[in-house]
Amino acid sequence: MKLEKLTTKSVQEEKRRFQDACGLAHAVELLGERWAILVLRELLLGPRRFSELKADLPGISANVLTQRLTELEDRGLVRKTRLPPPASVQVYEATEWALDAGPILCQLGRWAFRSPRHDASQPVSAVAIMLSMQTNFDASLAGDFADTIAFRFGQARYWAKVADRVLRIGSGEAADAGATIICSPDDMKPILYGGAPVDIVQVEGNIDAAARFVRMFSLPPKANVVCK
C-alpha cells in the first residue's frame, strides 16, 4: 500500500511538470498549487503552528493545508521543527532557500496591487500586513525618523524598525519600541493606505512616533488597463 501511494504521488508530480527548463516554469511547479504561495507567505516572518496557519488563511481546509505543507516540505521549502521549552510544540518553518523567495513574493504582491480588480476590502493576515509595510515603504518619506514601532495583533507580536531610511520588520517582542499599536491587521489598512489617523486604534507610548511611522507607506498607482 505504501509503495502504491508513493508511485501515485510520483505520477501526479510528473503530470504537473511543464517539461520546460525555464526557471519560471519550475517556480510554478514548486508554488503553483492553490494556497501554496500563501502558506509560504505566512512562514516568512518565522515558525507557525498548524492552528495559526489555519486561522490566518480563511477558506483553506485542514486537509488542503496538510497537503500543501507536505508538498512544500517534500520540495525543500518547509520543514517541521519544535519550539524550545516551555512551548515544546511542533511548528512549521520556511527553509533558508524558501526565505530567499520572500522579496520576490513581496514584489509580486506590489505588482498585483496595481490591478483594477484588487479588492482591498478583503481580510488580511498579520503577516500579510507586516509584509505589505516592507513592500510599500517609501524611504523618501522617512526623513530623520529613527525608532521601532511594535504591533500587537491579538496574541501575535511584530515590530518594524526604521533607521537611516531603511525599514526592517520581524516577529516577537520589541523591548526598544517607542510606540506600540494594538489593533487587528484589518484595522491597519485604512491607517497605512487610506490616510486614517493612527489614533483610531489603541496606541501605547509615543503616539507622535506612531503617527509619523504610518505616513511612510504608499501603494503603487493602478495600471491603466481595461479588465473584462
Q: What is the 3-state secondary structure (H, E, C) of the chain?
A: CHHHHHHHHHHHHHHCCCCCCCHHHHHHHHHCCCCHHHHHHCCCCCCECHHHHHHHCCCCCHHHHHHHHHHHHHCCCEEEEECCCCCCCEEEEECHHHHCCHHHHHHHHHHHHCCCCCCCCCCCCHHHHHHHHHHHECHHHCCCCCEEEEEEECCEEEEEEEECCEEEEEECCCCCCCEEEECCHHHHHHHHHCCCCHHHCEEEECHHHHHHHCCCECCCCCCCCCCC
pLDDT digit string (tens) for 142-192? 999 999 999 999 999 999 999 999 999 999 999 899 999 999 999 999 999
The residues facing 92 across adjacent strands are: 48, 80
With 0.85 as the threshold, say if the pTM is over it: yes
Report the topology of domain 2-104: Arc Repressor Mutant, subunit A (1.10.10)
- CA 55, distance to chain mean position in Å, is 14
In this prediction, residue 172 carries a pLDDT of 95
Average pLDDT for residues 43-54, to the nearest whole number? 97
CA dist 41 and 131 (Å) reads 9
Please state the rounded mean pLDDT for residues 67-71: 97
Residue-wise pLDDT tens digits, 8-31: 555 566 667 888 999 999 999 999
Where are the chain's structural domains?
A: 2-104, 109-213
Q: Is 127 helix (H, G, I), strand (E, B) or coil?
A: helix
Superfamily in which the 109-213 domain is placed by CATH? SCP2 sterol-binding domain (3.30.1050.10)
Output phi, psi for 184, to 5 deg.
-95, 160
Set of cell numbers at residue 84: 524550545
How large is the average pLDDT for residues 45-62? 96
Confidence (pLDDT) at 228 = 79
Give 131's Cβ-side CA count (13 Å radius). Answer: 24
Q: Would you state the pLDDT for residue 83?
A: 85
**By three-state DSSP, how is residue 164 classified?**
coil
125 pLDDT band, cuts 50/70/90, is very high
Residues 22-59 as b or e (16 or more Cβ within 10 Å = b): eeeeeeeebbebebbbbbbbbbbbebbebebbbebbee
